[in-house]
Amino acid sequence: MPRYFNWQYILILDLAYTIEYNYTFIIAITGGYLTEYISSRSTSDYGSIVKKDVQYVMQTYTRQPMALESGSGSVVFDTTGKEYIDCVAGIAVNNVGHCHPLVVKAIQQQAERLIHVSNLYYTEVQANLAEQLVSLSGMSRAFFCNSGTEAVEAAMKLARITTKKTDFVAADHSFHGRTMGALSVTHKEMYRSPFEPLVRDVTFVSYNDAEAIASAITKDTAAVILEPIQGEGGINVPSDDYLKAVREICDDTSTLLIFDEVQTGFGRTGKWFCKEHFGVEPDIMTMAKALGGGFPMGAIVASDDITFGKSEHGSTFGGDPLACAASLGAIEAIREEKLVERSREMGEYFLKRLETLTRDDVVEVRGRGLMIGVELNTKCADIVDYAREHGVLLNCTSDSVIRIAPPLVITKEQIDMVVDVIEQA
Ligand SMILES: Cc1ncc(COP(=O)(O)O)c(C=O)c1O
């Protein structure tokens, strides 16, 4: 049972809320800004936030016991003012850091001109972003949506309509999203089974095994979908020749190849896109997460003549002016601050430092750029708790892999602090 549903916990929250309420009330008589400051900074704020959340928000997430209030670069602050080095970064979203001035400025300026217009009309900002994405990815055209899962839906629909075939091959331990199509190519049984039947025509094969893909492809296979490095599945880096071999198999069988770069894109792995590490071009590529600099956004890009025709797909909000402006701001920040190179350098430093860990539960340290996994021979939830208490935010994926995906602006000093905390945890 989730801890927030524990009755003792609710009682404690009630008490905290009552204390805060009375405290705020007494201070309120003194009036002025002090009231607002104290009540917004008080530790019991957290209790009232949780109370409200538990009452009004569907409890789908296992949240950490803290409420975040602000952030800058690679640090965030909770409602008590406590500072954390953020090695989660919204799970590979805040690549340019929290509240990057170029993203903030782009959003502010765009918000004063036009926040949303329908895709019934052209906008310069959307055309500009499409041009940027095409140039960065080496693909031909973009379609805009609002999240990673929507990008995967778009990629699957595009593969079906292009090939007039129905089936997909996906990998064990894959994660592609929670909507029905994306969930169909997501491996984890726990996510899938309550919602079946999904798209039925999906075959899962071992990751990093090109022969398995060759065996799974049939005359009905529209596409193979792969993360070039698996994120949610435990930061699994394939061997150097895997994706090349998959590309050849797809070419030989007229099967499309989709790379899901939702987590690996925009400098995360030390290249603009992870495919560059392997020298392999997909037919369709998904992106989201860091695309909007923190603003919700998704997109696919596709090569040559692979494209949706009129009315074959659509999205009310996809590529709206505010999202596109935020994304252009984020891309500018990555370029100006050379964050792709920085990701590579800091990633190498981070990996080297992690390799010096003397903990006897470490099985392997792996990753590319600042997408790093520390696999343990035990569950990592306790380490996440310890780290949080000591000012570092970490995430645990696949139960026993500490996922480290900080903003690409993280410094060596911060990396040293993170490694020290993991060592001591
Ligand atoms: C590789 C990959 N694809 C798709 C998704 C789904 O993205 P979203 O949560 O934005 O729908 C994720 C999310 O973690 C992901 O890592």
DSSP 255: -
DSSP 272-313: SSTHHHHT---SEEEE-GGGGTTS--EEEEE-TT----TTSS
Instruction: Write out the two tokens for 351.
Output: 């990996």
Q: Quick one: DSSP state of residue 188? A: -
Residue 44 CA to residue 42 CA, distance in Å, equals: 5
SS3 content of the chain, % helix, strand, coil (to 5): 45, 15, 40
Is 201 among the catalytic positions?
no
Q: Radius of gyration over alpha carbons of the chain, in Å?
A: 23
- Report the pLDDT value the prediction gives residue 44, as an integer from 0 to 100: 54
Tell me, in angstroms, the distance from the centre of ligand 1 to residue 71's CA. 23
Q: Are residues 246 and 159 in the same domain?
A: yes
Q: What's the pLDDT at 11?
A: 42
- Residue in 144, 149, 184, 285 to alter for ligand 1 test, most ligand atoms within 8 A of Cβ: 149
Distance CA 335, CA 293 (A): 13
Query: How many A from CA of 148 to the centre of ligand 1?
Result: 4
Closest CA to 370 of 388, 391, 344, 338: 344
Looking at the fold, whether 164 and 256 belong to one and the same domain comes out as yes
Instruction: Report in angstroms the alpha-carbon separations of 47 from 13, 24, 56, 389.
Output: 5, 14, 14, 17
Q: Report, as ranges of residue numbers, the positions in the chain whose pLDDT lies below 70.
A: 1-44
Is-contact 302 141, C-beta < 8 A? yes
How close is the Cα of 182 to the center of ligand 1, in Å? 9
Q: Are residues 82 and 125 in the same domain?
A: no
- How is residue 373 written in tokens? 């996994």
Catalytic residue, candidates 209, 260, 283, 320: 260
What is the reported pLDDT for 342?
98
In this structure, are 415 and 392 located in the same domain?
yes
- Does residue 19 sit in the same domain as residue 58? yes
- Claim to verify: residue 182 and residue 241 sit in the same structural domain: yes
Same domain, 224 and 266: yes
Of 283, 301, 168, nearest to 224 by C-alpha is 168
DSSP symbol at 259: E
- Looking at residue 389, which CATH number applies to its domain? 3.90.1150.10
* Prediction pTM value: 0.90
In 3D, which of 295, 72, 258 has the Cα closest to residue 153?
Answer: 258
Q: Is the CB of 227 under 6 A from ligand 1?
A: yes
| Domain final position from 336, 355, 389 | 336
Q: Is 263 in the pocket of ligand 1 (CB under 6 A)?
A: yes
Q: Closest Cα to atom 8, ligand 1: which residue?
A: 148
Residues 68 and 143 in one domain: no
CA of residue 60 to ligand 1 center, whole Å: 16
Q: Residues in the chain, how many?
A: 425
Mutate to test the pocket of ligand 1, among 144, 229, 263, 274 (most ligand atoms within 8 A of CB): 263
Domain of 44? 1-63
pLDDT at 87 (0 to 100):
98
Quote the number of domains for the chain.
Answer: 3
User: Do 274 and 149 belong to one domain?
Assistant: yes
Q: Are residues 237 and 384 in the same domain?
A: no
Told to judge if 157 belongs to the known catalytic residues of this protein, a careful annotator would answer: no
How many Å apart are CA 151 and CA 132, to the nearest integer? 18
Q: Are residues 202 and 315 in the same domain?
A: yes
How close is the Cα of 62 to the center of ligand 1, in Å? 17
Domain with residue 194: its CATH number is 3.40.640.10
Beta bridge partners of 371: 368
What is the crossing angle of helices 339-355 and 412-424, to 10°?
A: 30
- Are 90 and 122 contained in the same domain? no
